[in-house]
Amino acid sequence: MPYTAIVGLQWGDEGKGKVIDYLAKDYDAVVRFQGGANAGHTVYVNGKKFSFHILPSGLLREDVVGIIGPGVVIDPESFKREVEELSLHVGDLKGRLFVDPRAHIVMPYHKLEDALFEAHSEKPIGTTKRGIGPANRDKYARLGIRIGDILRPSYLKEHINRAYDFNKRIVESYGESFFDRDELWDLLMEFAEYVKPFVVDTVLLLEDLEKSGARILLEGAQGTYLDVSFGTYPFVTSSHTISGGATVGSGIAPWKIKRVIGVFKAYTTRVGEGPFPTEEISEIGERMKEEGGEFGTTTGRARRCGWLDIPLIHYASIINGVTDLFVTKVDVLEKIGIYRAAVEYKLFGERISFPPAYSEDWYHIEPVYKDYPSWEDMINEIEGILKVEVRFVSTGKDREEVIERKGG
């Protein structure tokens, strides 16, 4: 069976957790393909809030298999906490949750380095301080420690020694003391025992699921404009958040993805630093924040809020090859009573229809706005510009508050 990828078309926080949970009723497995505990996917079921950071959001559906692919970086503490909390509601996850041995581990020193980088930088990125950037840095520097390594202690010793010396120099350069080597070893050995029942080669698992006719969702974290290549660099995450990243992070062939659902809010938000052309710094922006509950699931930080940016989501739909659109939080605009979107930009005196490729130019964008009588009219405009249908509209927090349009 072909795969369906779920991607965010803005700066993350588009409501992908709810989207995955809602769609998972029609699927057999959900694969998380990138990111780590810096993600925050929120699902409401009968008024109860569930927060996901590493585990696939579809696991609330008790007949759905959850897979953490090799493209994810795993924080042992966060992983254990999520498994234990979710198990209280859906039962034992062994036999239903699977972790690829090639997924990298976020070490305690990665989180410390992340915090030190931010604290000592003249221009902070605004990271979640969850150690995701340093963990991915070590991955590409061939200094990372993988889930499979901790299940092979004799092999792990060589890896941990190289990683230890490199990261020790970084931390001590800030005048901070480093971790005890034996304590790190014990932490990894303890986690090895915990994670071992979940570890399988997920590439072969997915192959078996495909052959059985399973329907499979690919779950992305963050959003297109936080992608390390296509986002507003350097204010980006350290992984590929786009649909192309789903193939690398899951271990599947690109041609197997037949459907890409792009998720966007009826307005725009951003956490941390970086350009934001349609940001609304006013009482209306504050009202968006309050009505939309715009505070980070992972950090609790307030999100910056602004109007919908159609050129932004149009460009993202091209990058991702979007086939269907899922818009969230139209209920927030209904409460505010204003339906406004940027339909194009002015940049250095010229009108343009897409965001610029040059990062610095983003700070010179002047949005050209259009107001609509209703969110339905705004959605019709989006479909006309993007040539992609809005199949789903979320009208509230709970999983069932969704309108399926045109056959969904």
Cis peptide before 70 (omega within 30 of 0): no
Mean of pLDDT values over 167-192: 96
pLDDT in tens, 357-403: 999 999 999 999 999 999 999 999 999 999 999 999 999 988 889 99
pLDDT at 159 over 90: no
- Predicted confidence at residue 298, as pLDDT, reads 65
- Predicted confidence at residue 408, as pLDDT, reads 46
pLDDT in tens, 210-244: 999 999 999 999 999 999 999 999 999 999 999 99
CATH architecture of 3-100+198-258: 3-Layer(aba) Sandwich (3.40)
For 110, 143, 146, 189, 229, the CA distances from 160, given in Å and listed in that order, are 13, 8, 10, 12, 29
Instruction: State in words which class domain 104-195 has.
Output: mainly alpha
Helix spans in 263-374 (H) = 283-291, 310-320, 330-336
pLDDT at 407 over 60: no
- Predicted confidence at residue 122, as pLDDT, reads 75
- Predicted confidence at residue 40, as pLDDT, reads 77
pLDDT in tens, 69-110: 999 999 999 999 999 999 999 999 999 999 999 999 999 999
Strand partners, 4: 217, 259
Q: What percent of the chain has pLDDT over 90?
A: 85
- Is 120 among the catalytic positions? no
Reported as a pLDDT band with limits 50, 70 and 90, residue 44 is confident
Integer Cα distance of 408 and 394 in angstroms: 12
Strand partners, 65: 29
Amino acid at 394: S
Q: Which fold has domain 266-321+329-404?
A: Adenylosuccinate Synthetase; Chain A, domain 3 (3.90.170)
The mean of the pLDDT values for the chain is 94
Integer Cα distance of 263 and 10 in angstroms: 8
Backbone angles phi, psi at 295, to 5 degrees: -135, 130
- Is 41 among the catalytic positions? yes
Number of Cβ within 10 Å of residue 79's Cβ equals 27
Angle between helix axes 243-250 and 310-320 (nearest 10 degrees) is: 40
Structure tokens, 55: 């585990």
pLDDT in tens, 303-341: 999 999 999 999 999 999 999 999 999 999 999 999 999
Structure tokens, 299: 């950090």
For 92, 93, 364, the CA distances from 89, given in Å and listed in that order, are 9, 10, 49
Mean of pLDDT values over 192-218: 97
Q: Give the domain ranges of the chain.
A: 3-100+198-258, 104-195, 266-321+329-404
Reported as a pLDDT band with limits 50, 70 and 90, residue 39 is confident
Residues with Cβ < 8 Å from 9, sequence gap 6 or more?
223, 224, 262, 263, 264, 312, 313, 316, 317, 320, 322
Catalytic residue among 41, 53, 110, 314: 41
